[in-house]
Structure 1
Amino acid sequence: MFILHLALGGCLKTPPIDFGITADSGGHLAYVVDAALVQAELPGLDRVSIVTRLFRSADLPSVHGQRSERVTDRLTIDRVDSGDDRYLEKEALAADLPAFTEAFCRHIAGLAVMPNVIHAHFADAAAVAIEARRRFGIPFVYTPHALAIDKRRQGLGGAELGTRIAAETTAIAAADALIVSTRDEAERQVPAYGVGVAGRIHCVPPGVPRRPYAGGTATLVDRLGDWLDRPDLPILLAIARPVAKKNLAALVRAFAADPVLHERANLVILAGQHGGQSSSEERAVLGELQALAASPALRGRFALPPRHDASDVTALYRRAAAGGVFVNPALHEPFGLTLIEAAAAGVPVVATRNGGPAEIVAQIGHGLLVDPRDEPGIAAACRAVIGDAGLHARLSRAARVGSAAYDWRRYADAAIDIYAALRRQPALLACDIDNTLTGSVDGAAAFARWRHGSSLPFVVATGRSFAEARAVLAQWHLPEPDAFIVDVGTRILRPAAHGGWQSCAAFTTALDQDWDRAAVRAAIAPLGICAQPVVTEGAHKLSFFGDAADVAAIRAALAQAGLAARVVFSHGRLIDVLSPGGGKAAAIAAYAAGLGLTLDDCIAAGDSGNDLDMLDACGFAIVVANASDELATLAARPGLHRTTRNHAAGVVEGLARLGLTTPAAQVAA
């Protein structure tokens, strides 16, 4: 399986991630990277790609202008250039979405193997995934991370929420499946959009963030004395972006107003990376926090470090575990990765009762819930935890044990099951012979190697007779198929029970319906069109030499006589007049039905006009690069691949794009 995660916003890179370096470089980046890392470790996974936007900025690391980063042997971060290489946020990113969508589709078209699924993070990525599904037939899963409809319920945001809610509504309605983190999202938030999601929505909690720690190196913990008069005191720790909904100023005011807390603990807040490409909202919130930090009441008791890295965060969690508490005072928190991260470090928590934290704390049992608008209540809860050694110890034990419920391997296994349920897996290959499998010795050899290593059922569908088809396959050292469809789809031959081959009597009987061979021949005879040798004819097929004008004349004559027949033109000179129930597509459908399959489950590969019906009707189609102009009218659609290689090498290329080749076949082709 090849999984593609799509996330447009923020500074996404190989860990450690620079959280808070921009307004939208938040916890969702940890979710995307950690999910992909663990999925890439699973047996049976071929490749995982995280696709994001390419940009260049003097204020941001140069890696974001690099087209690809190899994270592990099976995981890459791939960046798509939309033509605008500026770092963009929110409204500007929305304006760039059409250009990014086109660039992303070019990226998909250029891949050697198509992704089996796109996992879109946020509604902007879902909009791109919708178009990719339309063009390539790739199903997509949507994870919203934070839904605007709940922001509006909390009285947050402005007029822009209407546009965001509309985009989220479209994403929810279009997604093949949704993965959310909490029951609240699954049972209340998503249904509030008024879109039916029964059977499509799955609650799969993420795991504890994987944060690297350089043990033994100096961290912010070692420098708390730069801000604090008594750095030995327990700490109240908060980690969040400086935006209004995170409610950080309320925590500071609650701490400052409580003399017991002020005496027994210090407050430490990591509020992003100060400066850089922050939004106006972030600058306003950060300014308020800095003003509070400078007040006499908090001087020496409140640390607001301007910079931090992953090791600093890990070290501060460890410090908070020693008698302190982690605080999330958000007005509303969609999930709360920091709460399970704190739990894994053994840190009790005081958390908002709004959103995901209520479920997390109920699951783990490692803290207290508060009304985020009740500042005295926030202070009282913090005071209760740090002031009672027995309570702190019980909550700390519960944290370490209960955090095991949030496991990335469990998430990865569940997500893979969801992806797999969406995949339309090809179950049968039907291949033309002349100029599709033949024409290149190396290509034919590559196809033979593929066939040797594949269990996919394989049939040939050819205009030739049965004897001719077998002779040509032997001449080119091509493998015999599981069945032969010959005479332009008017005869099916299967292996007989005691050896040899036998015709499918049921299909032959079906072709008799509405077919008057003698009358068809009589209607065409006055046209004087040159007949092919009698040996090419069959009970349900008449064959001629001619051009497009002759084809039109035959169709007109049959229509005037009121006779039903299919007229097939191929290779610019061959005309076959078939029973109305005949043709390659009809024969493939009949054979597939015997296996419990439909045409949607089949791959057709061909190069000429007599392949047109099967290439159009099958769920998957491979048009080799040497195809005749007769296939130029074949409409682009999901599942149809026009290859860059000729003959059987093109078939192998198409199979590779569908993820169906063996390594040996791919190399040879």
Structure 2
Amino acid sequence: MNTENNRKQIALISVHGDPAVDIGGEEAGGQNVYVRQVGEALAQLGWEVDMFTRLADADQSPLVQHQAHCRTIRLSAGPKTFIPRQEIFEHCDRFLEEFIKFSRQEGRNYALIHTNYWLSAWVGLELRRRLSLPMIHTYHSLGAVKYQSVQEPPETATRRLEIEKAALETAECIVATSPQEKDYLRSLVSSRGNIEIIPCGTDINHFGSITYEQAREKLGFSPEEKVIYYVGRFDPRKGIETLVRAIHQSQIRSQSPIRLIIAGAYRPGQSDGKEKERISQIVKELGLEEMTEFPGRISDENLPIYFAAADVCVVPSHYEPFGLVPIEAMASGTPVVGSAVGGLNFTVVSEETGLLVPPKDEEAFANAIDRVLSDPQWRNQLGKNARKRMEEEFSWEGVASQLNDLYSRFVTL
């Protein structure tokens, strides 16, 4: 597309989701992975990629070079400390000014901006208005869906809904990560605007790099025990309580030893730390302490090992726009039992790569987990089907190629 000396410059904007941080901390999840992986893959396809985020720690480097043509730039916007995403909007105007200042100082002439989440959408809409930059947007989470299940929406809810609608109707194109997200956008946000469906991806070489037997030996799991795995943020919307109560109801406990792994980083005293303590208390009340472990954050190096060693990966989210965990599990050859919500209806093919059940339904989750664990031959077939589906449709290279084609429609080459 672009020659080495004539690379087109693009900006990926992710105000609150820093693509250069370790994944698994508070508010460091799928969006961070998406931006980082997309940025690096696009650089390989010939783009000059700058990924912009907010400086959230005074000790952080303001610039991280990932490879020759892809870097993260952390802009100073508000206090140089962690701020919950619902409190960041008041600093977005500063983020905007710092973006413009940086691009002018560096002599950057961006051909296109790709914004992520509604906070970045506001920045993108302003850049589009001021600088006439073509704008692509990915939502990652829709307020119109999220607020349906929230009793007390945050103060920014009205503004968020306005910005999400403006982005759909104004941006050159919206990237929906699943057909379900496109349906939500049309039914809940606006009938106007352009939408393309391009899924999130996964590293199919990283996940799937170790066999079930090798992974279990490495982690010291016995052949007899059934390993049930959750990995993700500690957040009530992730449905971890549903999983724990489902295991309490599970019939498989009387037939085989169970190891329940609930992995994810948490910070004592913060919202994720408080949720971890709440889940730990439920585990204790239900008498599941001996079979349950909380290993904390799993390193990128060890993630494929845990996924591969599990008999089933459970994704009990109340709402999941896409969800990287299920495709990482399936790329590892591990079937998924998940909530029949949002993007999970797209990524997980029920009865073929796993099972989907209603969210918050403890009995349904218990029955689904039992079905998978009680039939090892079927479990293995689900895992093989899952791996094949990921190889064919969900590699980051394939995602970047689709984005490359989309960008090229709006950039003068």
Same fold, TM-score > 0.5, yes or no:
yes
Partner of 1:5: 12
Partner of 2:111: 116
Tell me by how many angstroms 1:68 deviates. Answer: 1.2
Partner of 1:202: 196
- Residue 176, structure 1, aligned to residue 199, structure 2: no
1:36 to 26, 39, 45: 39
Contact 2:144 2:161 (8 Å CA) reproduced: yes
Q: For 1:357 and 1:196, locate their aligned partners in 2 and report how far apart those are by CA, in whole Å.
A: 25
Contact 2:245 2:362 (8 Å CA) reproduced: yes
Query: For 1:179-213, what per-residue CA distance to the aligned partner results, in whole angstroms no more than 9, with x for missing partners?
Result: 1110011123344112502xx21000121147968
Contact 1:220 1:312 (8 Å CA) reproduced: no
Contact 1:39 1:412 (8 Å CA) reproduced: yes
Q: For 2:351 and 2:328, locate their aligned partners in 1 and report how far apart those are by CA, in whole Å.
A: 12
Partner of 2:123: 128
Contact 2:350 2:356 (8 Å CA) reproduced: no
Structure 1 residues 245, 70: CA separation in 2 closer, same or farther (over 3 Å shift)?
same
- Residue 392, structure 1, aligned to residue 379, structure 2: yes
Partner of 2:291: 301
Structure 1 residues 413, 137: CA separation in 2 closer, same or farther (over 3 Å shift)?
same
Partner of 1:274: 266
Partner of 2:250: 258
- Residue 249, structure 1, aligned to residue 241, structure 2: yes
Tell me by how many angstroms 1:252 deviates. Answer: 0.3
Contact 2:86 2:154 (8 Å CA) reproduced: no
Unaligned ranges ≥5, structure 2: 1-7
Query: For 1:31-50, what per-residue CA distance to the aligned partner results, in whole angstroms no more than 9, with x for missing partners?
Result: 111111111111xx241111
Q: For 1:368 and 1:332, locate their aligned partners in 2 and report how far apart those are by CA, in whole Å.
A: 16
Contact 2:25 2:297 (8 Å CA) reproduced: no
Tell me by how many angstroms 1:12 deviates. Answer: 3.0
Structure 1 residues 10, 409: CA separation in 2 closer, same or farther (over 3 Å shift)?
closer
Structure 1 residues 238, 392: CA separation in 2 closer, same or farther (over 3 Å shift)?
same
Partner of 1:381: 368
1:639-650 residue pairs with structure 2 within 5 A? none
Partner of 1:49: 50
Structure 1 residues 263, 189: CA separation in 2 closer, same or farther (over 3 Å shift)?
farther
Contact 2:176 2:198 (8 Å CA) reproduced: yes
Q: For 1:358 and 1:71, locate their aligned partners in 2 and report how far apart those are by CA, in whole Å.
A: 33
Q: For 1:262 and 1:34, locate their aligned partners in 2 and report how far apart those are by CA, in whole Å.
A: 42
Q: For 2:73 and 2:312, locate their aligned partners in 1 and report how far apart those are by CA, in whole Å.
A: 39
Contact 1:325 1:348 (8 Å CA) reproduced: yes
Tell me by how many angstroms 1:381 deviates. Answer: 0.5
Contact 2:248 2:286 (8 Å CA) reproduced: no
Determine which structure has greater relative contact order: mean sequence separation of CA pairs < 8 Å that are 6+ residues apart, divided by chain length. Answer: 2
Q: For 1:108 and 1:187, locate their aligned partners in 2 and report how far apart those are by CA, in whole Å.
A: 36
Q: For 1:39 and 1:158, locate their aligned partners in 2 and report how far apart those are by CA, in whole Å.
A: 36
Partner of 2:404: 416
Contact 2:134 2:172 (8 Å CA) reproduced: yes
Tell me by how many angstroms 1:257 deviates. Answer: 2.2
1:475-554 residue pairs with structure 2 within 5 A? none
Equivalent AA in structure 1 for residue 16 of structure 2:
G
Tell me by how many angstroms 1:69 deviates. Answer: 1.3
Tell me by how many angstroms 1:159 deviates. Answer: 4.1
- Count how many residue pairs are aligned between Structure 1 and Structure 2: 399
Structure 1 residues 47, 196: CA separation in 2 closer, same or farther (over 3 Å shift)?
same
Q: For 1:231 and 1:301, locate their aligned partners in 2 and report how far apart those are by CA, in whole Å.
A: 15
1:335-350 residue pairs with structure 2 within 5 A? 335-350=322-337
1:628-643 residue pairs with structure 2 within 5 A? none
Q: What TM-score results when the alignment is normalised by the length of structure 1?
A: 0.56
Q: For 1:341 and 1:308, locate their aligned partners in 2 and report how far apart those are by CA, in whole Å.
A: 13
Tell me by how many angstroms 1:287 deviates. Answer: 1.7
Q: For 2:254 and 2:90, locate their aligned partners in 1 and report how far apart those are by CA, in whole Å.
A: 48
Q: For 1:334 and 1:111, locate their aligned partners in 2 and report how far apart those are by CA, in whole Å.
A: 35
Equivalent AA in structure 1 for residue 200 of structure 2:
P
Structure 1 residues 136, 155: CA separation in 2 closer, same or farther (over 3 Å shift)?
closer
1:189 to 164, 185, 188: 185
Tell me by how many angstroms 1:289 deviates. Answer: 1.1
Contact 1:273 1:307 (8 Å CA) reproduced: yes
Contact 1:367 1:395 (8 Å CA) reproduced: yes
- Residue 19, structure 1, aligned to residue 23, structure 2: yes
Query: For 1:207-241, what per-residue CA distance to the aligned partner results, in whole angstroms no more than 9, with x for missing partners?
Result: 114796899xxx9986678xxxx795121111121
Structure 1 residues 71, 221: CA separation in 2 closer, same or farther (over 3 Å shift)?
farther
- Residue 93, structure 1, aligned to residue 94, structure 2: no
Q: For 1:112 and 1:212, locate their aligned partners in 2 and report how far apart those are by CA, in whole Å.
A: 36
Q: For 2:251 and 2:201, locate their aligned partners in 1 and report how far apart those are by CA, in whole Å.
A: 37
Tell me by how many angstroms 1:140 deviates. Answer: 1.0
Query: For 1:144-168, what per-residue CA distance to the aligned partner results, in whole angstroms no more than 9, with x for missing partners?
Result: 0110111123346524433322221
Tell me by how many angstroms 1:299 deviates. Answer: 2.2
Contact 2:312 2:372 (8 Å CA) reproduced: yes
Q: For 2:160 and 2:113, locate their aligned partners in 1 and report how far apart those are by CA, in whole Å.
A: 21
Equivalent AA in structure 2 for residue 26 of structure 1:
G
Partner of 1:237: 229
Query: For 1:372-391, what per-residue CA distance to the aligned partner results, in whole angstroms no more than 9, with x for missing partners?
Result: 22211101111101111221
1:365 to 352, 362, 369: 352
Query: For 1:574-619, what per-residue CA distance to the aligned partner results, in whole angstroms no more than 9, with x for missing partners?
Result: xxxxxxxxxxxxxxxxxxxxxxxxxxxxxxxxxxxxxxxxxxxxxx
1:162 to 131, 144, 158: 158
Deviation beyond 4 Å, 4+ runs, structure 1:
209-215, 219-225
CA radius of gyration, larger in:
1
Q: What TM-score results when the alignment is normalised by the length of structure 2?
A: 0.89
For 2:295, what is the secondary structure of its paired residue?
coil
Structure 1 residues 295, 277: CA separation in 2 closer, same or farther (over 3 Å shift)?
closer
Tell me by how many angstroms 1:276 deviates. Answer: 5.6
Q: For 1:296 and 1:124, locate their aligned partners in 2 and report how far apart those are by CA, in whole Å.
A: 40
Q: For 2:151 and 2:205, locate their aligned partners in 1 and report how far apart those are by CA, in whole Å.
A: 31
For 2:136, what is the secondary structure of its paired residue?
strand
Q: For 2:251 and 2:349, locate their aligned partners in 1 and report how far apart those are by CA, in whole Å.
A: 30
Query: For 1:57-93, what per-residue CA distance to the aligned partner results, in whole angstroms no more than 9, with x for missing partners?
Result: 5xxxx3xx31211111111111112363222222331
